[in-house]
Chains A and B, each alone.
Chain A
């Protein structure tokens, strides 16, 4: 966990990619869930942020 947060603060690829992946997954779930309309409404922005973040952070340096 400590390694993860250290990676986040020092802008390393692995932890940031994990955050982006999580955002994309949450966005997709929000888009398709049948329970609350507001989650569907905000799903696109969450997926978009996750996808753009993934493209950017995949250029970060790898964690040792």
Chain B
């Protein structure tokens, strides 16, 4: 069957092309296939990266037509001594820490429950997974409505459970509540992702390990801490790193919800970078900032790949 397909494809190749390809080595044909990808990679990824590194050592401003001066490491010195950028890093850290904490906690609990066989298991999995399939712009928009103090459902739900007047607090407008409002939305959206990875980890544990533990009269709690947790840990680590890298770069959801406000309490590193680059037009300075963020993400990604290989080895 496959021979016939090969013959059909070979006979369909125009004679002119066949003659040209016939004289080429396997290596040359491989380069013909890989070449366009390498070219695009160089043009779209590598060249802009090198150009950004170059700009980070200059005082270049994209909206001014003046001579560019090389100022060495001064941009890096300014950024790493700037208390506003330090504050934006702290806002990022708050968002990162609490989203990871809640996503891991709720995601693992959901995966553990879903892993138990019960009626409607598949339906519940589908329902839980729905939020992560939505676009961040859509999620940001409808949560803005949910957070409205007058008409929003969120304030009414909080009021129902706590008895607080629904119009007495504003999630997106309050300096204290705005950082938590973005944590809630990201947790709502991405917990299913952590749940799916944990579920894969839970399902990879063979039943005979639990059966052996039962024979040894290990309690359910003991089984949970000595079998379940250690065997799911590499998967959990993977989920934490993946979400960590994604949330470190978080931009769209926060812009839709708070735009970095009120004041600058939710102005995360990526929003600050965008303001420096395209509102203040400090191109050299923002290039240095981008390189700092890039190195951080690259470092985290290296650990992520290492963790991924460990999971693969299992």
Contacts and interface: CB of A to CB of B under 8 A. Distances in A.
Interface of A: 17, 20-21, 24-25, 27-28, 31-34, 37, 40-44, 47-48, 50-51, 54-55, 58
Interface stretch (B125-133, B134-142, B156-164, B296-304): B296-304
Contact of B81 (A28, A41, A50, A51): A41
B106 to A, nearest CB: 23
Given A28-B296, A28-B300, A37-B86, A43 B80 contact: yes
Contacts of A33: 90, 93
Interface string B251-265: 000000000000000
B119 to A, nearest CB: 44
Contacts of B59: none
A5 B139 CA distance: 50
Nearest to A22: B303
Nearest to A33: B93
Interface SS of chain B: helix, strand, loop or mixed?
helix
A24 B292 CA distance: 13
Interface residues of B, number: 19
Interface SS of chain A: helix, strand, loop or mixed?
helix
A44 B76 contact: yes
Q: Which 9 A-B pairs have the closest CB atoms?
A: A32-B93, A24-B299, A51-B299, A54-B302, A34-B90, A41-B80, A40-B86, A32-B89, A47-B299
Among A32, A34, A42, A47, chain B packs the most CB atoms within 10 A around the CB of A32
Contacts of A50: 299
B299 A54 contact: yes
A46 to B, nearest CB: 10
A42 B83 CA distance: 14
B93 A34 contact: yes
Given A32-B93, A44-B292, A48-B295, A24 B300 contact: yes
A47 B302 contact: no
Contacts of B292: 44
